[in-house]
Amino acid sequence: MDAGQLWTMLPPHHLSLLIAAGASLLALGTILALLITRRRDKHQTSFLKGRIDSLWREVGDMRVMDFNQPLGAKASDQGSALEQERYRTEKAAYDIIWPKVWQLHDRLGVFLRAVEAGEAANELRLEARQAAIEARSHLNQNRPFCSETVENLASRLIDTEIKAHLAACQHLDQKKEVTNAPSTHDQRVLQDKCHTLHDGEARELLNQLASTIRHRTLRNI
């Protein structure tokens, strides 16, 4: 017997009762679902409210800690950052100046040895002159970022190397003269002057410059 036949066999008042009961059950289920959903939403809302209150308290504590931090500590942090920036700026200047100064000393040494040995030195003469120009130019460009000691040593070193270069050029030119050839004594004087300037004064200044730069750039390591 199918369901349709069962429904037709039930009395009308029984059918109405069943429909009413089904509707009541459906309504009850809907109310229960709404209550469960409302309770869950209320729980989530309470949790989020508590979390927000906790975050606001943490922010407030951080503000209080920042307010109560000694002014000296803040100034110290700012001073440390400024000192590090000055250090990086100064070191960057030395990274440019030192290679040029060393190149000048090296090129001039090669030129002086060629002159003393009587070898062809015109190209070496120009290279040493160009090295002196570059060293002076880079020192002038980075002068504001150097310590006074480094600036003074580098400037004196370049001047000394230029004097040695001029003495070597004079020695070289005298060797080329056919008439009025210089005496052996005059050549010896110029040669000794080159050695005194380049191998003596300039080398000492170079060592002092390296020591000063090392002290200023490696003191924090």
Tens digits of residue pLDDT in 41-86: 676 677 667 667 766 666 666 655 555 555 554 556 566 788 888 8
Helices 148-176/203-218 angle, 10° precision: 150
Query: Mind listing the pLDDT tens digit for each residue in 128-140?
Result: 999 999 999 999 9
3-state secondary structure of 1: coil
Are both 206 and 147 inside the same structural domain? yes
Pick out the chain residues at pLDDT < 70. Answer: 1-23, 41, 43-44, 47-48, 50-51, 54-79, 177-183, 219-221
- Would 83 be classed as within a structural domain? no
Quote the strand ranges of 16-130, DSSP E.
none
Regarding whether 194 and 97 lie in a shared domain, the answer is yes
Q: Decide if 22 is inside a domain.
A: yes
On whether both 116 and 204 belong to a single domain, the answer is yes
CA angle 167–94–202, rounded 5-degree value: 25
Cβ–Cβ < 8 Å for 206, 101: yes
What phi, psi does 180 have (nearest 5°)? 50, 45
Whether pTM exceeds 0.85: no
Structural domain including 145 reads 90-218
Residues 114 and 50 placed together within one structural domain of the fold: no
pLDDT of residue 221: 46
3-class DSSP assignment, residue 181:
coil
